[in-house]
Amino acid sequence: MNSSLTPTLQLAIDLIRCRSVTPEDDGCQELMIKRLEAIGFKTERLRFGEVDNFWAVRTGIDGTDGPILAFAGHTDVVPTGPEANWTNPPFEPKIIDGMLHGRGAADMKGSLAAMVIACESFVAKNPNHKGRIAFLITSDEEGPSINGTVKVVEWLEARNTKMTWCIVGEPSSTAQVGDVIKNGRRGSLGAILKVKGIQGHVAYPHLADNPIHKFAPALAELTAEHWDNGNEFFPATSFQVSNINGGTGATNVIPGEVEVIFNFRFSTELTETILRERTEAILNKHKLKYELKWILSGQPFLTPRGDLVNAVVDAIKSEVGLDAELSTTGGTSDGRFIAPTGAQVVELGPINATIHKVNECISADDLNKLTGIYEKTLEKLLS
């Protein structure tokens, strides 16, 4: 251990050294478990499929009936791409000009380190704290998210174990650590659409039926459709096409099918059912022959002002002097699996400018500040 490093930075470095490219954990969770068990946490290792997860709980003075403040996160990281493109090797963490470099520094091994060290400090000062502190950790967030948090939540629900509050350590900050708290997320509804036609020669279009031509007016209507106005917490629902594939590759063949992949990011103003019905009504209006497969990745959720949001806002103000902005923008997170259980959920983590990029990095000082924010949140809710 480097004696010049804070405990948070040392643990973050140890975690980044693990080559935990999703769904691999590569020892990250055991590093965390060892630290947590040393301060009184009871751990249950939960492996589903090829994915490692764990649930750890420290029970306070009021026993198993106390509220649960859970820290949630993931040890897996996205692939690095060609490592030769990195200024510093992605799994050989190094602090350069005050920035901690390495894959996962921001997303989200830095947050995990801050959570663990915050708990160590809080428990040392408050060994008989109120309520319960928990960790829900997975190695399947950057992948398909099938055998990770969603399975742990199902396991908890079967045992009737309910999180009261949950802090997800995703990198939520924009310009300064703590400037943005995600207190909700839009829903994500995807679809794979196959529009059918009749293949033929481009010189004899009367003997074929071009599905691309048939679909074009429907696509224009879908992209121009006004789905909703959003609300005070969410922007308007967005429809986006990500892929269109049709044709044989030859220039003289009318295709027999076109495949279109699209996605809705939707607010609480609409439901999944309404989006499906309105989309299919447009497709039917244009008399298309089609197959449609819907994929719901997550429902929208919102945690309004209350115990958790107020505690986190106050902790940020106390630790770094910022008035945090509440936001629901961005993609999805594992919070979408936790919020439906009734838990209050927020995302709070470091600056997200370099996540998933080559040369991912985070301010070393920010990690220390984040540790302080997490500890003050513990104090406000459980001391």
Produce one character per residue of 222-244: b if its CB has 16 or more CB atoms within 10 Å, e if not: beeeebbebeebbeebebeeeee
Round to the nearest angstrom and report the end-to-end CA distance of the chain.
Answer: 31
**Residue whose structure tokens are 């400018």:** 353
Residues near 313 by Cβ (< 8 Å), separated by ≥ 6?
181, 323, 324
The residue ranges of DSSP E strands in 197-256, in sequence order, are 200-201, 238-246, 253-254
3-state SS assignment for residue 272 = helix
14 is catalytic: no
Residue bearing tokens 């459980």? 382
Q: How many residues does the chain have?
A: 383
- Cis peptide, bond prior to residue 23, ω within 30 of zero: yes
Closest by alpha carbon to 141, among 152, 131, 132? Answer: 152
Cα–Cα distances (Å) from 376 to 126, 137, 202, 367, in that order, read: 12, 21, 69, 14
Given 24, 25, 76, 360, which residue is catalytic? 76
> What does the block give as tokens for 226?
């006004």
List the Cα angle 68/41/3 in 5-degree steps: 115
Check: CB of residue 59 under 8 Å from CB of residue 49. Answer: no
> Which residue in 101, 98, 79, 77 sits closest to 89, CA to CA?
101
Q: Which residues pair with 188 in a beta bridge?
A: 265, 298
Which tokens in the block code for residue 312? Answer: 């986190």
Instruction: State the Cα–Cα distance between residues 364 and 9, nearest whole angstrom.
Output: 7
Nearby residues of 339 by Cβ (< 8 Å), 6 or more positions away: 301, 303, 345
365 noted as active-site residue: no
Contact 242, 261 (CB under 8 A): yes
> Both tokens of residue 24?
């691999």
Catalytic entry in 52, 141, 257, 360? 141
Q: Among all residues, which ones are annotated catalytic?
A: 76, 141
